[in-house]
């Protein structure tokens, strides 16, 4: 094997993990880089200010909050400001403190996409190396497992409902990631966001993230579900505020989520099953 063959083999392996989908507002890029739990880095690319805006849509910070990382620690907070802006220039209309973003022209677009993807992985590494990581089970994992259980049940199956990829469309046409989505015939009909947090700051961050997404969602408010971990520890004002943009589900035990979704799901028509042929 020579250097050209080695380069080709490496690029082929990288390319096999990369996907790009065109959307009405730009592109979605599945980068060939992965967080420590195996989830891939997903970026959005939008035409903006005569060039291109590349952003993770806040998914890295959301991922870290869900995993219990100390994103409110002094070291991480200080480093985030530079990590989140691989290229210092961002059009004023595009700033989003929770997202990793950069802006570029056509000539440097590929490099800029790579820079944002790498910054997402670096952010996770910094959060876990410089700040202590707790061993608590992630609340988002609990909710995903419960949704997997519900999706396999007769209530969902009889109505042709499935779990989506966790992406919802905003009123602007852009997409954002949430914990879970429910699909019917290829369309998202409901979104579920897990709101954990083992500290006051963590709960506020989870609230702010969910409120930002749901307040811009194209879904009707009664089809957005904010699922609250340990609800008795939450400030009532936070629950009241998120309740203006979503249905609040106080999660103390698994069937709390089941009951919250039953009224939506049971109102949907049961799909007719194909008749069995007799031989």
Q: Convert the pLDDT of each residue in 178-187 to its tens digit.
A: 999 999 998 9
Residues of the chain predicted below pLDDT 70: 37-38, 66-68, 70, 88-95, 128-137, 273-279
Residues 255-273: tens digit of each pLDDT: 999 999 998 999 999 987 6
Closest C-alpha to 116, from 87, 81, 75, 91: 87
CATH topology assigned to domain 139-266: Trna Endonuclease; Chain: A, domain 1 (3.40.1350)
Quote the pLDDT of residue 95: 62
Quote the pLDDT of residue 6: 92
Quote the pLDDT of residue 238: 95
């Amino acid at each position: 094997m020579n250097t050209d063959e080695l380069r080709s083999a490496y690029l082929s392996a990288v390319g096999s993990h990369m996907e790009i989908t065109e959307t009405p507002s730009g592109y979605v890029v599945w980068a060939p880089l992965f967080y420590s739990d195996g989830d891939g880095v997903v970026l959005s690319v939008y035409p903006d200010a005569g060039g291109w805006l590349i952003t993770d849509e806040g998914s890295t910070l959301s991922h870290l909050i869900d995993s219990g990382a100390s994103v409110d620690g002094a070291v991480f907070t200080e480093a985030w400001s530079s990590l989140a802006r691989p290229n210092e220039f961002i059009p004023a209309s595009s700033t989003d403190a929770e997202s990793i973003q950069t802006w570029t022209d056509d000539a440097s677009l590929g490099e800029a996409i790579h820079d944002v993807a790498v910054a997402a992985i670096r952010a996770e590494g910094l959060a876990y190396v410089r700040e202590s990581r707790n061993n608590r089970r992630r609340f988002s994992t609990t909710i995903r497992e419960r949704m997997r259980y519900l999706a396999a049940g007769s209530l969902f199956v009889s109505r042709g409902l499935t779990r989506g990829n966790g992406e919802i469309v905003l009123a602007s046409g852009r997409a954002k990631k949430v914990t879970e989505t429910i699909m019917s015939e290829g369309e998202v009909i409901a979104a579920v966001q897990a709101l954990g947090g083992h500290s006051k700051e963590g709960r506020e961050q989870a609230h702010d993230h969910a409120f930002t997404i749901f307040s811009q969602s194209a879904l009707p408010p009664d089809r957005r579900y904010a699922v609250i971990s340990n609800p008795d520890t939450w400030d009532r004002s936070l629950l009241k505020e998120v309740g203006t943009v979503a249905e609040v589900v106080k999660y103390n035990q698994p069937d709390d989520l089941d009951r919250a979704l039953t009224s939506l799901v049971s109102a949907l028509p049961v799909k007719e099953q194909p008749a069995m042929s007799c031989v």
